[in-house]
Structure 1
Amino acid sequence: MLALVTTGHPRSHRRNRKRTLRLVLIVGVVGALAAVAAYVVPLLLPPGPRPLFQLPVACGETWQLGTYPGHGDHDVDLFPLDGDPWGQPVLASYEGTVTVAGINGSLGGRTPDNPDGPRGRGGGYWVKIDHGGRWETQYLHLLEPPLVAVGQRVAQGEQIGRIGSTGNSGAPHLHYEQRRGWQKVETWFDGSPSGITHDDAEYTMRLTSNNCAPAQS
């Protein structure tokens, strides 16, 4: 008869398995900590210098900017002074990377064919762009799904959507915000403050867009 031959001791195999499991756990924990650090550390750094934001509308056009009580400090609503607001282009205020392109809340039923349809909730179709240095812009109430996708790099002045009235909106307009870190701040355009800082009262102003294509060399 052939004798049964074994190699090693059962206990040694168990010890090897335990060491392997420990190693796997350690590698997993280290990887998780590295991933968390890569996300958290940039958020703890001070914001960089303010980008040279431009109005998110076509070059040379003059738009009305405004706010009203309960709207939110530093929130800006933009309305064109000429033409039908429905479908007018919304442009990136500055170059950056799209971090959100989708639906905030619910869309509602207000369209160019049914402007008095039911309101939705929140911002409707919207876009967020990360401009680096912990600066961000947000564009809400777009007419239709954004023209950009998450992760896409956009240039200043590139069209990202069209004016609409989705979400909690009473009329076609663009709700716009600039954020530094976690905080909304007063919007600046072409190097100057917009003057819209609080929502204690309803007030408006007019600004002309310098969101123009760079000169071709």
Structure 2
Amino acid sequence: MTSHRPRDLRPHRGPHRRAIRVASVVGGLAALVAGAVVVVPLLRPPGPRPVFQLPVTCGETWRLSTYPGHDDYDVDLFPTTGEAWGRPVLASAAGTVTVAGINGSLGGRTPQDPDGPRGRGGGYWVTIDHGGKWETQYLHLLEPPLVAAGQRVARGDQLGRVGSTGSTGNSGAPHLHYEQRRGWEKVETHFDGVPSGITSDDREYTVRRTSVNCDPVGR
């Protein structure tokens, strides 16, 4: 009588398992590459500072101010002559708008009711990415920004108008709160390559600067 070994009915898994292992390795390498694509730009140092200009009309002279509790490097801009309400707010340099909307709450201060209730935060505001980890911010605009997130702007393009939305800190007057950031940290503002002189907020002080933010350039 001839004996027969029972046939193995289990599927042969050798090639299948190897394929799974290869796919896992490939997937892991792809994940590492994708992670490197995200991480490497974050580790790169900021690029050279753009030649920022004052974010106001060419030829106008403005007071750049700060006060205790304002935060280092924060700048409030007030015109030296005329009414601040509704003055054009211009891009300091070419870039891409990343934020255009409301920061915090608006409050109710308008040219018709300048003593209305204050809001909180930045009110209507705009943020521009200038590349090389450089960014500018424009706060307390009078009304919704004239630009939208994702829009490319040139230096001198109008972003909005000076107002008093959001919290205005120690100032109840309409003004433009402005910041320059390098690598997501605030730094001393420079205009036309010259430091503004607004650094610490240990005391209240002002400087005067005249805008040469003239023809829109650099799209």
Bin for the TM-score computed over the shorter chain: 0.7 to 0.9
Measure, in 2, the Cα distance between the counterparts of 1:162 and 1:125: 10
After superposition, the C-alpha distances for 1:51-105 in whole angstroms (9 at most, x for unaligned) are 1000000000001110000000000000012222111100000001111111111
Report what 1:205 is aligned to: 207
Report what 1:72 is aligned to: 71
Q: Does 1:60 align with 2:59?
A: yes
Q: Percentage identity across aligned positions?
A: 72
Measure, in 2, the Cα distance between the counterparts of 1:65 and 1:38: 40
Paired amino acid for 2:214: C
What runs of 5+ residues in structure 2 fail to find an aligned partner? Answer: 1-8
TM-score normalised by the chain length of structure 1:
0.84
Distance 1:95-1:167 versus aligned 2 partners, 3 A rule: same
Measure, in 1, the Cα distance between the counterparts of 2:30 and 2:117: 48
Q: Does 1:90 align with 2:92?
A: no
Pairwise CA RMSD: 2.5
Measure, in 2, the Cα distance between the counterparts of 1:105 and 1:116: 19
Measure, in 2, the Cα distance between the counterparts of 1:121 and 1:26: 50
Paired residues, number: 206
Measure, in 1, the Cα distance between the counterparts of 2:115 and 2:32: 51
Paired amino acid for 2:43: L
Distance 1:148-1:39 versus aligned 2 partners, 3 A rule: farther
SS for the counterpart of 1:57 is: coil
Distance 1:110-1:24 versus aligned 2 partners, 3 A rule: farther
Distance 1:163-1:214 versus aligned 2 partners, 3 A rule: closer
Point out the structure with max Rg over C-alpha: 2
Distance 1:159-1:32 versus aligned 2 partners, 3 A rule: farther
TM-score normalised by the chain length of structure 2:
0.84
Measure, in 2, the Cα distance between the counterparts of 1:210 and 1:121: 32
1:24, CA displacement in angstroms?
Answer: 9.1
Paired amino acid for 2:189: T
